[in-house]
């Protein structure tokens, strides 16, 4: 079932990421390269911390994927092409990590280029939604391309938006990779199962450095890479396995999607910020602020920053598990989707009423 090469590659992915992360921490602090600023709306740390952990994940993932040849032909495999297509958004994200001078517009341009590359080179796109009326529109190529761009660019950016606390983006990406990987394995697509497995182990290895102490951050490059890879794996799954419902894939990435969409909505309603400008009113930010207001927070076994990702994972992981077990049942999946949306809104409104932030009316 598992070749010796795959098992060795899986171990190599974990070990390489661990060693790369260790080296990046030492080099970054010694030469002040890629050090995250403690200034900004979403900054909650005070120590000088490298923000180029995504480089360790990218290098180990690219290496382990390249040495596993699932096809004997002389052409690049689908997994290798996806890695190549991720380069524009990953490079610009990493440039932002190193210089902190790359505009959001330029990074979104990189995401656009990556999405166009994966659509036209790998033929990964939105081909079905199982929503009446929408699938008929996807028969028109221009509409299919525009919706595919919106989905790929949107989720790529969504993963970066939630990357603000120790382990948050990593654990969300890991849950997506785990259940998508299992779906590929059950469908007999061992190439994409291998990709999901290698990147999952790379994330797990970086998590050992990132959580709970935050010795290195994932960074924009890493968040963009994971977001792009997850959405491409999800869309490819829907194309290769017709028994899997699109709502299953949506439910796996529900938190990044909901947080991004609701953030855009509240900024548009309040008209206090541009919809692309960072603020400290995300759900994970409110959880952090509410924990900081806890009178006996010193009794917590972990620091407050490290608690946020597991509180969110406590809500999202059950949805992912039940969604996987019912990945072909639209009724159950849609019920889980609605429960996730209502849970997000309820928790957000409750915390927003308890946490006072000057100059920001509750919504």
pLDDT at residue 243, rounded to an integer: 93
pLDDT at residue 273, rounded to an integer: 64
What is the mean pLDDT, run by run of 10 residues, along the chain of 363 residues? 80 97 94 75 67 97 86 79 98 96 96 98 94 89 96 97 93 98 95 96 97 93 98 97 96 97 84 68 92 67 82 96 97 97 96 73 52
- Identify which of 79, 254, 114, 255 has the alpha carbon closest to the alpha carbon of residue 184: 79
Given a contact cutoff of 8 angstroms between Cβ atoms, the answer to whether 221 and 213 are in contact is no
pLDDT at residue 303, rounded to an integer: 80
At 264, list the tokens: 């855009």
pLDDT at residue 88, rounded to an integer: 98
Sorted by where each begins, the domain ranges of the chain are 4-354
Buried b (16+ CB within 10 A) or exposed e, 126-162: bbebeeeeeeeebeeeeebbebbbebbbbbbbbbbbb
Residue 108 burial (10 A CB sphere; 0-12, 13-18, 19+): middle
Helix (H, G, I), strand (E, B) or coil at 49: strand
Mean model confidence pLDDT for the chain: 90
CA distance 221 to 276: 17
């Amino acid at each position: 079932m598992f070749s010796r090469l795959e098992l060795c590659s899986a171990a190599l992915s974990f070990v390489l990421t661990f060693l790369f992360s260790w080296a990046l921490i030492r080099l970054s602090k010694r030469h002040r390269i890629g050090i995250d600023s403690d200034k900004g709306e979403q900054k909650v740390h005070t120590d000088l911390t490298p923000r180029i952990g995504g480089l360790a994940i990218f290098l180990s993932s690219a290496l382990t994927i390249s040495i596993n040849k699932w096809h004997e032909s002389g052409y690049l495999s689908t997994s290798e092409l996806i890695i190549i297509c991720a380069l524009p958004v990953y490079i610009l994200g990493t440039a932002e990590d190193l210089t902190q001078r790359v505009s959001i517009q330029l990074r979104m341009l990189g995401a656009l280029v990556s999405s166009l590359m994966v659509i036209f080179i790998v033929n990964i796109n939105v081909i079905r939604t199982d929503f009446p009326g929408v699938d008929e529109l996807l028969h028109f190529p221009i509409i299919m391309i525009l919706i595919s761009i919106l989905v790929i660019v949107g989720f790529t950016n969504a993963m970066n938006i939630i990357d603000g606390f120790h382990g948050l983006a990593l654990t969300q990406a890991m849950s997506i990779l785990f259940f998508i990987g299992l779906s590929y394995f059950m469908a007999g697509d061992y190439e994409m199962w291998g990709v999901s497995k290698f990147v999952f182990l790379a994330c797990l290895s970086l998590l050992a450095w990132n959580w709970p102490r935050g010795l290195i951050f994932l960074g924009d490059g890493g968040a963009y890479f994971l977001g792009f890879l997850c959405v491409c794996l999800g869309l490819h799954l829907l194309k290769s396995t017709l028994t899997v419902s699109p709502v299953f894939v949506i439910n796996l990435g529900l938190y990044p999607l909901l947080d991004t969409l609701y953030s855009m909505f509240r900024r548009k309603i309040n008209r206090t910020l541009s919809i692309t400008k960072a603020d400290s009113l995300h759900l994970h930010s409110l959880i952090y602020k509410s924990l900081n207001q806890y009178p006996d927070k010193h009794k917590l076994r972990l620091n407050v920053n490290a608690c946020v990702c597991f509180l969110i994972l406590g809500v999202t992981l059950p949805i992912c598990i039940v969604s996987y077990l019912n990945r072909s049942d639209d009724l159950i999946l849609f019920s889980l989707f609605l429960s996730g949306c209502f849970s997000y809104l309820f928790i957000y409104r409750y915390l927003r009423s308890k946490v006072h932030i000057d100059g920001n009316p509750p919504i």
